[in-house]
Structure 1
Amino acid sequence: MMKELRPHNFSRRTKLRLLLNHIAKTIFLLSTLFGIVVLSILIYRVFSQGIGWINLDFITGKLSTRPERAGIMGAILGTFWLMLVVAPVTMFLGVGTAIYLELYLKKGRLQGFIQTNIANLAGVPSIVYGILGLTVFSRVMNLGNVVLAGGLTMSLLILPIVIVASQEAIRAVPNPLSEASFGMGATKWQTIKHIVFPVALPGILTGAILSLSRAIGETAPLVVIGIPALLMPFPGGILDKFTVLPMQIYYWTLDSSLTAEYANLASATIIVLLLVLLVLNTTAIIIRNKFQTSN
């Protein structure tokens, strides 16, 4: 027979659990506050150093060896052209791969092997993708350090994330919708095109936009490829040499040890990059909410 819990033992265990719950709650609260404080200090430092340097000449100007005359239009255009390569490549390959894995490939060892490798690729350090891009795109394909080589390299970096996010969005589509479509005589492709994909699109867009935001802020793969931050003409196509906002921040941060004003330029560029990410994420939220409302 089970021993009955005595009142004082029950009370002692209850107090111990409440104490542990209070300790855990306090630890989590302190962890959150620590992150908020550090982030607030960082944002304050960036804005206090850089906000005074942002003006029309800084946004539209070219790079210069003189800090007071330096501009970031070349880096902005380079970021724009980079995203023109990354966005369609990752969306087409990522969503297509997710549809094949979830709706066409039979469950088994092959699918498990592919899923495991995709999950592992999502955790590979970004510099490894830079080495891969340097070998394949810059040297084997002889593209050099142009926009196309950088875009394909960044596409490899975020492709596993887009695939996983798209798979999760497809899995979230209720099975009765697909079954009803098949019951009405629709083919598998018609069901995917008119039922599964429209319902999963908000989740797919969310994952894709977050992945693009990461690509915009990455620096290591571009450093390996050899993207410069020198005085050069503005890029006008995917076969032109370019630089991007994170690269400009990186080089100006290095140069700040020699010239203090470069730290202010780096802070001002960080503010512009944050605004670009804010606009991008806001657009993604608006598009996602629109599709969710229509669905």
Structure 2
Amino acid sequence: MISNRLERCIYHNVMLFLAFMATVFTVFIVVFIIGYVLIRAIPHVSWELLSTKPSYINETIGLLPDILNTVYIVFATLVFVLPLGVGAAVYLSEYAKNIKVKRTIEYAIESLAGIPSIIYGLVGMLIFCQYMSLKTSLLAGALTLTIMNLPTIIRTTQESLDSVPISYREGAFGLGANKWYTIRTVVLPCCIDGIVTGCILAVGRMLGESAALLFTAGFAHKLNGFIDALSSSGSTMTVALYVYAKEQGRFDVAFVIAAIMLLMSLMINYTAGYLSKRIQRKRLVK
């Protein structure tokens, strides 16, 4: 009896120690990567580098076009992917009655999530750039990223919709609400966290994507407004990082771009979390 209790105690302490070490190792990797990037980037950061465009005549480098192009393509992609992804998730969770059709669609979505990004870039180049005559542009890149991120938005939203208790829907129906009104005013507000989570994951993939955008968005360092930028070729920060590090050997600029991307990811995560909490607070007040 005492021996069994001692074995359980040892087993518990060993597993607790291993879990703690795994946590410490994970935190160490994250802190090391962020610290290493910032240490390599901070000495080379300057206002001129961040606020100007490249000049081949003066042989200067500027990252402002790449930063703006990244913001443009993320915004344009969210405009396309959010309605499509949330709408598809609502259909699969609330309206799809045929189990076979639903499973077929879900299998197609899972298959879409496993396709390598380079294939998305090739197909996007052939369909959007050539067949639809969009040429190499940020709009073609945004449409390609929309298809790439649809599975993420659909799956996270669908899981959130399925987690809403059925009693909420029955209560709304009992008060005389129709199905769409119930979904819009009861179900969707309850799963706002899942939608925000899907957006964060999608934006993270957009910021880190380079292979697909090399084929569709191009790598021109142009400084344009939003409308003009969508119809012209433009380099995002990941593409610029590849060009400066791999083709030009400017690792100082590459680390500055990496630091900017890290800060943008942190800002997006914080903003999404803040908006989610604010929406939930307003819903509770109502």
Query: Which of 224, 243, 247 in structure 2 is aligned with 1:234?
Result: 224
Deviation of the 1:65 alpha carbon: 5.3
Cα contact 2:221–2:235 (8 A) shared by 1: no
Secondary structure (helix, strand or coil) at the match of 1:237 reads: helix
Q: Distance in 2 between matches of 1:286 and 1:44?
A: 25
2:48 to 37, 44, 57: 57
- The residue type paired with residue 15 of structure 2 is A
Query: What's the offset of the Cα at 1:182?
Result: 0.9
Q: What TM-score do you get using the length of structure 1 for normalisation? A: 0.87
Q: Which residue pairs with 2:81 in the alignment?
A: 90
Alignment of 1:96-175 (within 5 A): 96-175=87-166
Contact conserved, 2:136 with 2:216, CA < 8 A, in 1? yes
For the pair 1:275 / 2:275, whether they are aligned, the reply is no
1:284 aligns with 2:284: no
CA distance in 2, matches of 1:37, 1:205: 27
Give 2:39's aligned residue: 48
Supply the distance in 1 between the matched residues of 2:98 and 2:35 (Cα, whole angstroms): 51
Q: Secondary structure at the match of 1:195?
A: helix
User: Judging changes above 3 Å, is the alpha-carbon distance between structure 1 residues 187 and 19 closer, same or farther for their aligned structure 2 residues?
Assistant: same
Could you say which residue in structure 2 is the equivalent of 1:225? 216
- Name the SS for the 2:123 alignment partner: helix
User: 1:267 & 1:248 partners in 2: Cα distance?
Assistant: 11
CA distance in structure 2 between the aligned counterparts of 1:134 and 1:15, rounded to whole angstroms: 64
Q: Which amino acid aligns with 1:273?
A: M
Describe the shift of the 1:241–1:67 C-alpha distance in structure 2 as closer, same or farther (beyond 3 A). same
Of 118-127 and 189-198, the range deviating more from structure 2: 118-127
Gaps of 5+ in 2: none
Alignment check: 8 A CA contact 1:85 1:148 kept:
yes
CA offset digits 1:11-65 (Å, max 9, x no partner): 4444444434433333333333333333333222211221122222111111245
Q: What one-letter code is carried by the residue in structure 1 that aligns with 2:121?
A: G
**Matched residue, 1:30:** 21
Retained in 1: the 8 A contact 2:172–2:182?
Answer: yes
Stretch of structure 1 that moved more, 36-45 or 170-179: 36-45
Aligned pair partner of 1:214 in 202, 205, 212: 205
Aligned-residue offset at 1:213: 2.4
Partner secondary structure for residue 69 of structure 1: coil
Normalised to the residue count of structure 2, the TM-score between the two structures is: 0.89
Separation in structure 2 between the aligned mates of residue 271 and residue 66 of structure 1, nearest angstrom: 27
Q: Deviations over 1:117-164 (max 9, x none)?
A: 212322332222222212211222122210110000111111100001
Q: Which moved more, 1:86-95 or 1:118-127?
A: 118-127
Q: Give the count of matched residue pairs.
A: 281
Separation in 2, partners of 1:182, 1:45 = 56
Matches of residues 197-212 of structure 1 in structure 2 within 5 Å? 197-212=188-203
Instruction: Tell me the percent identity.
Output: 28
Unpaired segments of 5 or more residues in structure 1? 1-6
Whether the 8 Å contact between 2:140 and 2:217 is mirrored in structure 1 is no
Q: Does 1:188 align with 2:179?
A: yes
Asked whether the 8 Å contact 2:152–2:201 carries over to 1, the reply is no
Tell me which moved more, 58-67 or 198-207: 58-67
Q: Give the partner amino acid of 1:89.
A: F
Q: Distance in 2 between matches of 1:206 and 1:117?
A: 22
In 1, Cα distance between equivalents of 2:128 and 2:50: 31
Distance 1:123 1:14, change over 3 A: farther
Contact persistence 1:67–1:265 (CA under 8 A): no
Please give the secondary structure, in 2, of the residue aligned with 1:128.
helix
